[in-house]
Amino acid sequence: MKAFLSEFRNDPDKPRNVIFVEQDGLDAPRQYAIIPRELWKLLGMLVGGAVTVTALLIVFTPVRQLIPGYGTESIRQNARLNAIRLEMLEDSLQVQGDYIARLRFLITGEIEDSAFAMASFADPDMDEDVPSLRPVRSTSPPIEDRSLTQVVVNASLDDSPDELFSNAVTFPSLPPVDGFLTRGFDAASSHFGTDVAVPEGTPVRAIADGYVVFSDWTQEGGHAVGVQHAAGYISIYKHNLRLTKRVGERVRDREIIAVSGNSGEVTTGPHLHFELWRNGLAQDPRYYVVSW
């Protein structure tokens, strides 16, 4: 074969006669006139076309992934980006899980030594010179003057997005139930709310607009429901007979969220235990609610 092809390299413009003879000799020989230069041009066009088609396949089709080493860097970059996204998602889920766990820890009443709970809920923007993380009373006006004063707390984007909550929380608000005050706020004895005696089956109303962040049974507080309001406020209602709202539902001011009862272990009769927290600090509800 090598000797045959070498015949076409010498004097490429001189025609050559190529005779094809069958090996058995039964058919007549066939003769063709070939100009070597034209033959080489034809072969060059075929090779060039094959190379062009191959290049197009590599550039515009997934065939390039079959080439060893091709695209390895892009694959590594995508892998790194996916790993970063996964870490961010895990961090977000961890933060949400920690918040829900702390909220459940707070609502169940298991906060005798509440330094951990207070630190967990504390606003990171609060003054670091706060002397104690124990629950403190509000700085609202004294009880005898509160009925004449209206305190409006404006919500910020950090505390509550406009699309989730109202633009403001107005205090003093109407009480969640009308009843007889049996025990007040006493942080020293870890009683972070107010007990109001009411007949079993009394409607329990939200003190402001918000979203339900807890609605479940607790060992000490029985059927309990918690509502997140604007400006970092959370109101909690315990010892109910039954709950009328589920987690995630939006509630309006004065909307019924539960029916009072006598559920839970820590109870001495039908009553509502009401708590109000802001940025992880328990507030005395009597400074925020009229007629208590």
The helix or strand, by DSSP H or E, that contains position 241, with its residue range, turns out to be strand 233-243
Sign of the torsion formed by the C-alpha atoms of 30, 34, 36 and 39? negative
How high is the pLDDT of residue 65?
A: 67
Residue that is written with structure tokens 């918000």 in the block:
210
Domain locations in the chain?
2-66, 115-287
Q: Are 191 and 170 in contact (CB under 8 A)?
A: no
pLDDT at 62 exceeding the cut of 80: no
**Which fold is adopted by the domain 115-287?**
Glucose Permease (Domain IIA) (2.70.70)
> Amino acid identity, residue 3?
A
Q: How does the average pLDDT of the chain come out, rounded?
A: 77
This prediction has a pTM of: 0.52
Dump pLDDT digits (tens) for 162-183: 445 555 688 899 999 999 999 9
| Interacting residues of 169 by C-beta distance below 8 A, sequence separation 6+ | 152, 153, 155, 208, 209, 229, 230, 231, 233
Which run of H or of E encompasses 79? Answer: helix 72-107
d(CA 106, CA 210): 18
Sign of torsion over alpha carbons 205, 208, 209, 211: negative
